[in-house]
């Protein structure tokens, strides 16, 4: 871009001009509109380490290295938006607390394996079935007094003798989280200033049902509870709703440009029955999404797995209130079922990006561009977050082909 | 926090989303206000929000 064009656009420099172009392109597509060309917003996680010559331990153990790796990718690839750090678990936080469920690369895991969540057996669940009432009555108090000490070995629970290590762990945990979260502002600004790249998302949401399954009762425990104590499950999910909403809104984009993301896990058929989805999952999530929309924010449905059984329910949401990200769903069917109401993203199979040829990647991208992105409302991305098994050559093929062919 | 035993601090039905020690409870624990109470309330609420964020992000984000 020459000096005249920069001045006409009212930008400080060419990088800022590029940022403004990309922001307009990305946000137009998010709102199901047709921009000048298809925006590219890959959810690159441990891929960034591979590309930057690092390993999983480096980007997990030191978030500054993760920021560097993300910025390096943003500078080298012509992407419109990326997540400032998709390797979102900074290993120091579980380490200072003595966390029992997160395994970190290089500390118990091979140093080039991504971090892992270790779900306990049903009888070792982080919340006992008889503790539903305590969670329902005071969720934050339950976290503080019971759940945190149980999931972190340095913290002591109710009535236990206090320890020096307990005091230090609370202090270090709080300091670490503040340090990490505060650093994100600088990373967002760095991506804008150095590369003209948009920060793709802001704000995190989980469904109350998924939180119960993932972090409290475990998947097997919760599915048993659905039969043995269904009223308690529903009351607990309802008690979690205001907290999920608060966390989502308190971390959202103040400019209301990029979406809050909900990471959807095991609330769909066949993890639950259709009736259980209708009774437990959807009634405790839908009002949260609607309230987020009333606050002026979109929600990106990172629909991990296959959610096509529930597309009719998703259509109940206000038009434009969500972006539907395809993981294992058929992206072409998703466009036909949801595309008149919501933008679609993703759908390029990770298997193809890891083990296919560049020509196979280009062929699939062409089909997606022709059939899904045809009228706008599509954001190019892989199906799921890209880890270090993803081929750099194939990501380059996806990027370059979309740039060349994905022009409206 | 107790130095001998770690005792539960249960505050049922009075702890809204976003707060761990809500301002009304903290207010009762302070000496008589001789200055700008709103200033104290605002700064208390801000730091309490970080505490809330720490607890809930341990569940939601990590």
Question: Could you read off the pLDDT tens digit of each residue along chain A, which spans 408 residues?
Answer: 555 666 666 788 999 999 999 999 999 999 999 999 999 999 999 999 999 999 999 999 999 999 999 999 999 998 999 999 999 999 999 999 999 999 999 998 999 999 999 999 999 999 999 999 999 999 999 999 999 999 999 999 988 999 999 999 999 999 999 999 999 999 999 999 999 999 999 999 999 999 999 999 999 999 999 999 999 999 999 999 999 999 999 999 999 999 999 999 999 999 999 999 999 999 999 999 999 999 999 999 999 999 999 999 999 999 999 999 999 999 999 999 999 999 999 999 999 999 999 999 999 999 999 999 999 999 999 999 999 999 999 999 999 999 999 999
In this prediction, residue B6 carries a pLDDT of 60
* pLDDT confidence band for B3 (50 / 70 / 90): very low
CATH number of A3-405: 3.20.20.210
How far is the alpha carbon of A310 from chain B, nearest alpha carbon, in Å? Answer: 23
For chain B, the domains span 23-29+36-60
A140 and B58 in contact by Cβ < 8 A? no
Q: For residues A391 and A350, what is the distance between their CA atoms, to the nearest angstrom?
A: 10
pLDDT value for A378: 98
**CB-neighbour burial class of residue A254 (10 A; exposed 0-12, middle 13-18, buried 19+):** exposed
What span, in angstroms and rounded, lies between the C-alpha atoms of A313 and A278? 9
Distance (Å, whole) CA A168 – CA A174: 10
Give the whole-angstrom CA distance, residue A32 versus residue A259. Answer: 13
Helices (H), A154-298: 164-190, 208-211, 219-228, 230-250, 274-276, 286-294
Could you identify the residue written with the tokens 């400032």? A84
Residues belonging to chain A with any Cβ–Cβ distance to chain B shorter than 8 Å? 88-89, 93-94, 97, 99, 102, 137-138, 140-141, 143-145, 147-149, 151, 156-162, 166-167, 170, 173-174, 177-178, 181, 204, 206, 211, 215, 242-247, 250
Per DSSP, the three-state class of A174 is helix
Task: Work out whether the CA dihedral A170, A173, A176, A182 comes out positive or negative.
Answer: negative
Predicted ipTM of the assembly? 0.94
* pLDDT for the residue numbered B1: 40
Q: Which of A138, A151, A158 sits opposite B6 (nearest CB)?
A: A158
The Cα of A248 is separated from the nearest Cα of chain B by a number of Å equal to 10
Angle at A30 between CA A395 and CA A390, to 5 degrees: 15
Please, what is the angle between helix A392-405 and helix A358-371, to 10°? 40
Q: State in Å, rounded, how far the first CA of chain B is from the last one.
A: 25
Smallest CA–CA separation between A108 and chain B, in Å? Answer: 17
Extract the tokens encoding B4: 């001998």
pLDDT at A12: 81
Please list the alpha-helical segments (H only) found in A160-205.
164-190
**Strand-by-strand arrangement of the A102-105 sheet:** A108-109, A102-105, A116-117
The one-character DSSP state at A197 is: -
């Amino acid at each position: 871009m020459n000096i005249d064009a920069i001045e006409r656009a009212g930008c400080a420099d060419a990088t800022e001009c590029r940022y403004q172009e990309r922001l307009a392109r990305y946000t137009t597509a998010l709102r199901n509109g047709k921009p000048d060309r298809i925006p590219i917003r890959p959810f690159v996680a441990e891929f960034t380490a591979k590309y930057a010559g690092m390993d999983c331990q480096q980007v997990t153990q030191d978030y500054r290295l993760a920021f560097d790796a993300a910025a390096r990718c943003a500078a080298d690839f012509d992407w419109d938006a990326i997540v400032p750090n998709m390797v979102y678990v900074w290993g120091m936080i579980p380490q200072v607390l003595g966390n029992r469920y997160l395994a970190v690369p290089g500390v118990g895991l091979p140093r080039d394996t991504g971090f892992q969540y270790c779900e306990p057996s049903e009888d070792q669940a982080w919340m006992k079935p008889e503790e539903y009432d305590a969670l329902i009555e005071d969720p934050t108090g339950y976290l503080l007094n019971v759940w945190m000490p149980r999931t972190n070995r340095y913290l002591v629970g109710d009535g236990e003798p206090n320890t020096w290590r307990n005091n230090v762990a609370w202090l270090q945990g709080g300091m670490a989280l503040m340090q990490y979260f505060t650093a994100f502002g600088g990373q967002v600004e760095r991506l804008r200033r150095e590369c003209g790249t948009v920060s793709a998302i802001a704000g995190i949401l989980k469904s109350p049902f998924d939180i119960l399954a993932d972090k409290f009762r475990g998947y097997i425990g919760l599915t048993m509870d659905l039969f043995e104590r269904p009223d308690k499950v529903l009351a607990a999910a309802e008690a979690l709703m205001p907290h999920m909403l608060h966390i989502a809104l308190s971390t959202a984009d103040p400019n209301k440009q990029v979406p809050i993301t909900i990471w959807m896990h095991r609330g769909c058929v066949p993890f639950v029955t259709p009736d259980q989805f209708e009774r437990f999952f959807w009634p405790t999530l839908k009002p949260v999404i609607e309230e987020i929309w009333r606050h002026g924010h979109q929600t990106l449905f990172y629909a991990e797995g296959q959610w096509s059984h529930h597309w009719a329910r998703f259509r109940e949401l206000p038009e434009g209130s969500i972006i539907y990200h395809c993981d294992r769903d058929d992206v072409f069917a998703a466009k036909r079922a949801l595309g008149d109401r919501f933008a679609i993203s993703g759908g390029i199979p990770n298997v193809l990006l890891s083990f296919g040829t560049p020509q196979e990647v280009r062929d699939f991208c062409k089909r997606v561009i022709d059939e899904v992105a045809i009228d706008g409302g599509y954001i190019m991305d892989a199906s799921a977050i890209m880890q270090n098994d993803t081929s750099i050559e194939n990501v380059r093929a996806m990027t370059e082909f979309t740039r060349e062919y994905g022009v409206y | 926090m107790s130095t001998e035993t770690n005792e539960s601090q249960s505050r049922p039905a009075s702890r809204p989303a976003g707060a761990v020690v809500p301002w009304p409870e903290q207010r009762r624990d302070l000496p008589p206000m001789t200055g700008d109470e709103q200033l104290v309330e605002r700064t208390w609420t801000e730091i309490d929000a970080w505490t809330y964020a720490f607890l809930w992000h341990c569940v939601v984000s990590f």
